[in-house]
């Protein structure tokens, strides 16, 4: 069997938001390279004898260099191990799946990408707002808060900033919320545009912070979030509810907590 690596989306944090394919990949892993945002509820789904290696990759914290991660994946795959690279959210959304795929395929290693629920979708579902909405939001843009030379890089944002019917979902925006708001206003976005920030989107401890765009930075600063933060800017943000919506299983919603990982059926295929 040729060497292979699976780049698997772990979703926003809760094990019951994994896809079935992701669950089966984790259950069958012999080597698991996981990012800092992947919690124990998901890691516990891996076999007992699986080699677990934390790669980090969390903004502002120590992490393994991308070149080291690439080399480690290749080395383990070429040894014949079933390698799963487990990423928070979706591997194709700011997850460097393109870089890792190119590196591995150049060395004769097959790659399968398993999609996951991304933070924008998780936040919208939890707090009851749409990402697109007829008459309010005809397109959705996923952006990353990037710094260049110590300043926020807003290159390419101008058209989106000026389009009132564009929802902007800005990832990794916790420490740059004020600069992001100021940059968008400077590019033409109405300062009164509804905006929100969601900390730990998709998790049981998710938190919603709302403010008009011109006050978004101070609202996030006052809330002092410590987890990952997604910013959503656009008319649809005004539709967000203040409480996390309960998730339904086969029975009607009762507001009960989501089932733990131990309640999941184990895949028959190992």
Active-site positions? 35, 57
Residue in 123, 79, 149, 101 with CA at minimum distance from that of residue 228: 123
What the block records as the tokens of 104 is 């591995």
What the block records as the tokens of 235 is 């008319």
Strand order in the sheet with 110-114: 51-56, 31-35, 83-87, 4-9, 110-114
Residue in 183, 188, 197, 129 with CA at minimum distance from that of residue 164: 188
DSSP state of 46: S
Phi, psi of 120 (to 5 degrees): -60, -45
Q: Cα–Cα distance between 163 and 197 in angstroms, integer?
A: 20
Q: Cα–Cα distance between 119 and 229 in angstroms, integer?
A: 9
Half-sphere exposure of 119 (CA within 13 A, CB side): 31
Beta strands 229-233 and 166-171, pairing class: antiparallel
Q: Cα–Cα distance between 32 and 34 in angstroms, integer?
A: 6
Torsion of CA 169, 19, 73, 39, to 10 degrees: 70
């Amino acid at each position: 069997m040729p060497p292979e690596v699976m780049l698997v989306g772990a979703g926003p944090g809760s094990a019951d938001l994994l896809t079935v394919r992701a669950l089966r990949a984790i259950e069958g892993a012999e080597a698991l390279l996981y990012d800092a945002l992947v919690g124990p509820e998901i890691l516990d789904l891996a076999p007992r004898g699986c080699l677990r290696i934390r790669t980090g990759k969390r903004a502002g914290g120590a992490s393994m260099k991308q070149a080291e991660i690439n080399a480690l994946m290749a080395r383990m795959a070429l040894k014949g191990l079933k390698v799963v690279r487990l990423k928070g959210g979706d591997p194709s959304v700011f997850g460097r799946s393109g870089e890792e795929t190119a590196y591995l395929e150049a060395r004769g290693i097959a790659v399968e990408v398993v999609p996951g629920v991304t933070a924008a979708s998780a936040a919208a579902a939890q707090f009851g707002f749409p990402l697109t909405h007829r008459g309010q939001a005809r397109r959705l843009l996923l952006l990353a808060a990037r710094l260049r030379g110590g300043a926020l890089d807003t290159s390419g944002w101008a058209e989106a900033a000026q389009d009132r019917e564009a929802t902007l979902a800005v990832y990794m925006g916790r420490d740059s919320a004020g600069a992001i708001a100021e940059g968008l206003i400077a590019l033409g976005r109405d300062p009164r545009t509804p905006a929100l920030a969601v900390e730990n989107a998709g998790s049981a401890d998710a938190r919603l912070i709302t403010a008009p765009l011109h006050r978004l930075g101070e609202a996030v600063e006052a809330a002092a979030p410590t987890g990952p933060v997604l910013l959503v800017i656009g008319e649809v943000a005004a539709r967000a509810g203040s409480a996390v919506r309960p998730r339904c299983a086969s029975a009607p919603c009762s507001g009960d907590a989501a089932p733990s990982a131990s309640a999941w059926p184990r895949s028959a295929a190992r």
